[in-house]
Structure formats: C-alpha cells, structure tokens
Amino acid sequence: MALSTDEVLRVAALARLELSPDEVRLFTAQLRQVVEFVDRMGRGGSGNDLSTADGTRTAADVPQPGLALEVFLANAPEHRGPFLVVPRILDAEAPAEDTRRDG
C-alpha cells in the first residue's frame, strides 16, 4: 500500500503535526519506502498474547503527593498566577473528524 500525498496530510492532521510543503514532499517519498518495506513483513501465528509485562503489579490505591504547583508552573509555557494559560477551547472550532482508533 503506497502512501499518497493526501494520506500523508491526513496522517499529519491526526498526529497534530504541522508540516511544511517541503516536509510533505519528503515524507511522502520516505514513508512510501518505509511502508513498502513494512508491507513485506510476514505473518506470525495467531494468538498474540504479548505479556512483556508478565508480573506487572498494580500500585496500592493510596494517595501520593503530586508535583508541587511551583515546580509544575516552572516548566509551563505560559501561566498567570497559579493558572496555566491555554488557547480558547470552547466555541473555537467544530470537533474535527478523528478516525484514530482507541487502544
């Protein structure tokens, strides 16, 4: 399955990445090559029980201190007093189509 320019633009939108026209051209060619390589991947048997994390434990359900507010805000791109400043969220735009699968 070769990737078209439109598909590269669709994937960039899903990935929330703004690309320059040069990057779109470059990535269309490079990703096509990589996807062709990946397409040659064989098929394993069925039943992909991949428990890399055998033995994974769940943490005890007890409250732990989080980051101190001043430590968090020290890395914030923009803040006003104790509040993180973010662009307007409501009424900003209609929800875009998102075909990314959960999980």
Partner 1 sequence: MVEFARLEAAAIAPRVASGEWRAAAVIESSLARIEQREPDLAAFLALDREGARARAAELDRRRDAGERLGRLAGVPFAVKDNLAVAGRPLTCGSRALAGFVAPTTATAVERCLAEDAVLVGQTNMDEFAMGSSCENSAFQRTRNPWNRERVPGGSSGGSAAIVAAGAVPFALGSDTGGSVRQPAAFCGVVGLKPSYGRISRSGLVAFASSLDQIGTITRSVTDAALLLEILAGVDERDATTVDLPVPPFAERLESGLGGIRIGILDEIRESQLEPAAREIWRSAVARLEGLGASIHPVSVPGLESAIAAYYVIATAEASANLARFDGIRYGGRVAAPTLRETYAKSRGAGFGSEVKRRIMLGTHALSSGYYEEYYGRARDVVASLRREFDTAFERVDLIATPTTPGTAFPLGDRAADPLAMYLSDVFTTPANLAALPAIALPSGLDADGLPFSLQLMADRFQEVPMLAAARAFERDLGFEVRPALEEASDAA
- Which residue, 37 or 81, is less far from partner 1 as judged by CB? 37
The 3-state DSSP class for residue 79 equals strand
User: Strands 79-80, 83-84: parallel, antiparallel or unpaired by DSSP?
Assistant: antiparallel
Site track 27-56 with partner 1 (rule: CB under 8 A), x = hit? x--xx-xxx-xx-xxxxxxxxxxx-xxxxx
Residues linked to residue 84 through DSSP beta bridges, in sequence order = 79
The DSSP element (H or E) to which 12 belongs, if any, is helix 5-14
Residues 1-30 that bind partner 1 (CB under 8 A): 1, 3, 7-8, 11-20, 23, 26-27, 30
- Strand-pair partners of 80: 83
Query: What does the binding site for partner 1 look like in residue numbers (CB under 8 A)?
Result: 1, 3, 7-8, 11-20, 23, 26-27, 30-31, 33-35, 37-38, 40-50, 52-59, 67, 71-72, 74-78, 84, 86-89, 92-93, 96, 99-101
